[in-house]
Every structure is written in structure tokens, then in C-alpha cells.
Amino acid sequence: MAAPSTTHEAADRDAAARPLLGFVALLGGVLLLSAHEIAVRLPALYVATAAPAWRVPVALALGVGGAVGALVARRARRPELVLFGSSCGLAIALPLAVGVCSVALAAGGMPIAALSGAGGCGLLLAAVAVAATRVFARPARLIGIVEPALAPHHVLGGLVVFVAASVGTGALGSQRTALALGLLACVLALWSGQLAAWLGAAPPPRWRAWLGGAVFVGLLGALGARELTLPATTQLTYANEIVWGTRDGAHEIVVTSGQRNLELFVDGRLRVSGLDQHRYAEALVRPAMAAVERPRAVLVLGGGDGMLEREALGAVGVERVVVVSDSPVARYARRAPWLRALSRDALADPRVTVLEAEPIVWLGESTELWDVIVVDLPEPFGFLEAKSFTVGFYERLAARLARGGVAAIQALSAFASPAASASVQRALGEAGLVSLRYRAPVTTFGEWSFLLAGRDRPRVSGARLEGGRFLDPMTFEVGLVAPADTHPAHEVRPSTLHDQVIVDLLVQRVR
């Protein structure tokens, strides 16, 4: 007669164990993933790239916050209330910490953002863990879920799920991951009260359900707003993780972080990499500045991020630099501390003027003459961009060159697309300009080609090339040599406004 009774008791114990075991599994997952976000990903994505000197203080803030949270939860008279409040607080604090750090990339204040985020989230994480232990440890022992929960196959399965979830968060991005964990923390907050009541405690008051529900709905709204700004599929198009992004009119501006390096993308195309931006900027601008005796007036078509402007301002005698671009990137570059540091605050120099206009239209309407014109416009993968690589565009450019003036033009990669690069040089010739081709190795772009053009063949003063981080007279001389595999395999035509052959040459990688 004892066997049936024992069987019924075991069945009752198993039924009672399932909700508690599920809660413990969710609790462990949320705590581990949230700790990973705050202790590992946030410092790696934001602090190490934007404020590396603050990594140790941020770690200390996380530890101090955790100690304070544990102490408060341990001494609290109503641990179930602390568990609810700290879970709701974590649901808000985690996305807020990541969001504030993201904003700090664009507006400054990264140390304060990271310190407050790490300290606050550390406090709440510890409070949740300690309060949950106080509320549910004894029922867990009585019901007997401790041994099953610590079984090797359960622990191994949990580790596999944790590793898979950690890897998967890279596809979501830090901001969506924080919002998703916030939603789970809300579920924990609401579930904790119901579970405690099921185990014999007093039922939670209604205001808890209303408060938890409001936080949950708010987080869902934030997730939806994020999706409207930058869809989740956008992350899949970038190698590194998006840490800041927005849409400004028809343009998409994105900042990614990886390997302690920030990169700026405009409309999906790499604009600035903290790793090697100096190579591209020096290779494009410095030879042109060294080919003009007194470069007082400089026009930059494209640019706007401060890198080309920095190199132009570095030349002796420059009185004004005008930037003409149809991209809003300059508005971001003026605020973002990491870009301001890379450009040495070039856009704040009183000699620099930024105009938002279509370069080809602005050239046709302008009457000013320029000693140096720097052209850094997007590659012509479509007809919209290809108009700036045509004979008509370069004719307008030639009309704006002062006597003895020189134009510096990014001419694509002669290694990857020899025919397209040669078409740019042919278009310059048809516009009446004599050009000089050279190349430079740029880590993030590969080997890139540039053209110096003027009414006469430009002559670069080697002495004026001294002083750069990358480009010096010897590097420039080496770049003048064109390897055999950078020559087009056949004669190419120049691109015109009515026959933009460069698009097919570039898209099809014609050699």
C-alpha cells in the first residue's frame, strides 16, 4: 500500500518542481547574459574604442555596484519586493545603459555613460540574484530541484544554450539584445510574484502587474522604434557590430565597433576607419597640396568627415577650405568625439565651410577658382553616383581650377577594376586635363588608385610630402609605378552623362 502513496508524492513533487525549475532556468539565463552584456560587450564595443583609459574604472564601478546591490538585497525585510523592483529596474537600466553609451559616441560623455551604466546594472544584477536566492532557495531545497538542476547534463545544456545565445546576440546587435533581455527581466518580475504566491506567500498587489506590464509595453515600443530606424537585417550587412545608427533623409549613417576600432559607414559604404583613415586621406590630399606652390583656396567635393579637411589645413598657406557634399555626415562628424579626435577638430576650424549641395550642380553654378580641388565621391555602382565620373563633370571641375591649380581624384582600384579606373583617367583627358596616376595600399580598401590632374602635368615637390604618418617621398615614388595587372586588358571609353559605361565596368569588374 505504500508504493502508490510514494508514487503520488513523487508526482506531486515533480508537478511542483516544474514551475520553480523553469523560473530558475530563466533567472540564470537572464543574469548570465545581462552580466555578459555589461561586463564584456559594453566595455569591448564602447569603452575600449571611445574611452580606453576608463576600462579599469568601469570594471571597478561594476564591482562596487554589485557589492552594494548584494548588501541591500541581503538586508531587505521584504526580499520579494526587492526581487520585483530590481528585475523591473534591470529591464529599464540595461537598454538605457547601452543606449546612453551609443549616444555618447555621437555627443560625448562616454566615461560618465559607461561608469553609470556599469555601476547601475551591476547593482541591479546582484540585487536580483541575492533577492531571488532569499525568496526561492528554501522552497527549492524542500521540493528537491537543487540536485536535478545541478545534474551534469543540465549544466552542460545550460552552457551550450548560453554560448549559443551569446553568439546570437552579435546578429541582434547590442541595443536589440539589451531590449530583449529587458523584456525577459520583466517576465521574471511578474513571474516571481505569482510563483511566490503559488508557494504559499501572499498574492502580489495589482500595482505590480500594472507596473511590470507598463515596462514591458514600453520596451516593446522601443524595440519597434529601433526597427523603424534601422531594421534588424541591417546588422547582417556589416562585418562588425552596429553601435550607433540613424537615418537622415535619404541617407543611412552607421557606426560599427570591432577589434577596438570604430568605423563610419554612409549608405552602406565605408567612409572612415579608425585603423587606417590617415593612409587614405594623406594619399589623396597631400600630393595635390605638394604640387601647388601656394595652395590658398581648397575645394573638397565629398568629404565632410574631417579627415581630408585635416590634411588640407596642414599645408602651409591655406586660407580657406570649402566642403561641398550631398551627405549629412558633417553634422555627425562635428559632434562625434572619436571623429573629432581623428580629424584634430578640423571641421571646427574657422577656415572650413561645409555646404550641403550636389557637387556636380554646385560646380556648374559656382564662379570661384580654386588652387586645389579634392574629389572624394562614392564609387559609381549606380547611375546616380556615376554622373560624377563623367567627362561633363570633369569639364565643370576644370573650369574651376585656378592657373597652376591641381585636382586630386579618387580613381577606384586599378587592381580590382582596371577598366573602370582607366575610364576615369580617359574622362579627365577628354575634359582637357593632364593626369598623373599613383596608388597607395589602404588596409580596409585594398590597393587604391588616385589621379592628380591639371592643365599641365602636375609636379609633386617631394620636400612638401615630408611629415606624414604614412606618405613620404619614397612611398609616393613607389606608388607611381603601375604593376602589369593594373592595366586594362583592352581599350576603354570615357564615361559621359548619356553613356555611363563606368557603371558596367565597375559592377562587372572588367579587367
Annotated catalytic residue 376: yes
- Per residue in 454-500, pLDDT (tens digit) is 999 999 988 889 888 999 999 999 999 999 988 988 889 999 999 99
Q: Residue 338: in which H helix or E strand, if any?
A: helix 337-343
Structure confidence at residue 20 as a pLDDT band (50, 70, 90): confident
State the cell numbers at 115: 561608469
- Per residue in 391-434, pLDDT (tens digit) is 999 999 999 999 999 999 999 999 999 999 999 999 999 999 99
Q: Report which residue type is found at 75.
A: R
| Dist CA 344 CA 309 (whole Å) | 10
Q: What is the mean pLDDT of the chain?
A: 88
Residue with cell 579608425: 274
Mean pLDDT lowest among 245-249, 287-291, 341-345: 245-249
SS3 466: coil
Q: Considering 326, 349, 376, 472, which one is annotated as catalytic?
A: 376
pLDDT of residue 8: 47
Beta-carbon contacts of 275 under 8 Å, excluding residues fewer than 6 positions away, are 261, 263, 443, 444
| Dist CA 199 CA 139 (whole Å) | 8
Residue 236 pLDDT greater than 90, yes or no: no
| Dist CA 216 CA 455 (whole Å) | 66
DSSP class of residue 292? S
For residues 371 and 318, is the Cβ–Cβ distance under 8 A? no
For residues 297 and 371, is the Cβ–Cβ distance under 8 A? yes
Nearest to 94 by CA among 170, 45, 31, 47: 31
- Per residue in 238-272, pLDDT (tens digit) is 888 899 988 887 888 999 998 789 999 998 899 99
Q: Could you tell me the fold of the domain covering 274-507?
A: Rossmann fold (3.40.50)
For residues 314 and 321, is the Cβ–Cβ distance under 8 A? no
| Dist CA 389 CA 462 (whole Å) | 29
DSSP class of residue 261? E
Region 167-175 average pLDDT = 73
Q: Which residue has the higher pLDDT, 7 or 171?
A: 171
| Dist CA 336 CA 151 (whole Å) | 50
Residue 277 pLDDT greater than 50, yes or no: yes
For residues 302 and 314, is the Cβ–Cβ distance under 8 A? no
| Dist CA 113 CA 46 (whole Å) | 10
SS3 442: strand
CA dihedral sign of residues 230, 235, 238, 239? positive
Alpha carbon 367 to its chain centroid, in Å, reads 39
Q: Report which residue type is found at 448.
A: W
Domain segments of the chain: what residues? 2-233, 241-270, 274-507
Q: Is 28 exposed, middle or buried (0-12, 13-18, 19+ CB in 10 A)?
A: middle
Rg (CA), the chain: 30
**This prediction's pTM:** 0.86
SS3 176: helix
pLDDT of residue 314: 93
